[in-house]
Amino acid sequence: MKDERQETLEDIGTAFALTRPPQPDAPMPAKPALIDIYNLRLDTPKFGLPVAAAPHCIQCASLALKAGMDEETVLACLLHDVGLAVVRPDHGWWGAQLVEPYVSEKVSWAIRYHQALRYFPDESVGYEYPQMYVKMFGADYKPPEYIAAAHEFARNHKWYMAARDITLFDDYSFDKNAPWSIEPFADIIGRHFRQPKEGLGNDASATAHMWRTLIDPSKPL
């Protein structure tokens, strides 16, 4: 006869099987590159957002490129919401950590702090508080203290404008009907993203586990 412990463990196994996320439709290459991530994992909207991370980030980076921003800022715009593929809260911090082993300090810094800067207008550069935040949080919303502290730190930093530029282009990058392709950014990625030869998730970086989660969120444990 089964004892109570065995039955509990079997119940847990059944619960895991029933609640396991579906396996992604598109298989990844054995050695995934950043372009594969955009084409095969960032192409579907998540967390109730109207636009998937890939087209949103590509629209943002396209605006930065058209405005004549330097390539590191363009890359930061291209990567700024990659954290939303893993988690919604604090996506700027998550996204910065995810790409940190593969990009310059300036790029990861801009991604990390763009999240805090979104809550604070800066008239000197033409950034207004987003109306969608009024809809989301209410007109009297005040960001948490850690967000306010991050903004205060960032506004006096030498890379402030790299993060601020993300917010400037971000608001104009939610066209869900716009065609998109990551290919126009292949050269910038090649120059500024240190693609591991083993493939993302297969190297020994401190964030390889995060890439594995992004690549196959259906794994039960």
Q: Show me where the domains of the chain are located.
A: 30-215
Beta bridge partners of 127: 122
> Nearest to residue 84, comparing CAs of 57, 103, 106?
57
Above 70 in pLDDT, residue 23?
Answer: no
We find that the CATH architecture of domain 30-215 is: Orthogonal Bundle (1.10)
Cβ(83)–Cβ(98) below 8 Å? yes
The tokens of 108 are what? Answer: 């990861």
Cβ(111)–Cβ(166) below 8 Å? yes
The span from the CA of 130 to the CA of 146, in Å, is 20
C-alpha distances out from residue 213 to 32, 110, 201, Å: 13, 23, 8
Task: Give the alpha-carbon dihedral of 26, 30, 32, 36, to 10 degrees.
Answer: -30
Q: Tell me the pLDDT tens digit for each residue of 75-109.
A: 999 999 998 888 888 999 999 999 999 999 999 99
The span from the CA of 10 to the CA of 125, in Å, is 59
pLDDT of 49 reads: 73
Q: Tell me the pLDDT tens digit for each residue of 38-74.
A: 999 999 887 777 789 999 999 999 999 999 999 999 9
The span from the CA of 56 to the CA of 82, in Å, is 10
* Structure-token match 């502290």, residue found: 149
pTM for this entry: 0.89
**What is the band of 18 on the pLDDT scale with cuts at 50, 70, 90?**
low
pLDDT of 218 reads: 78
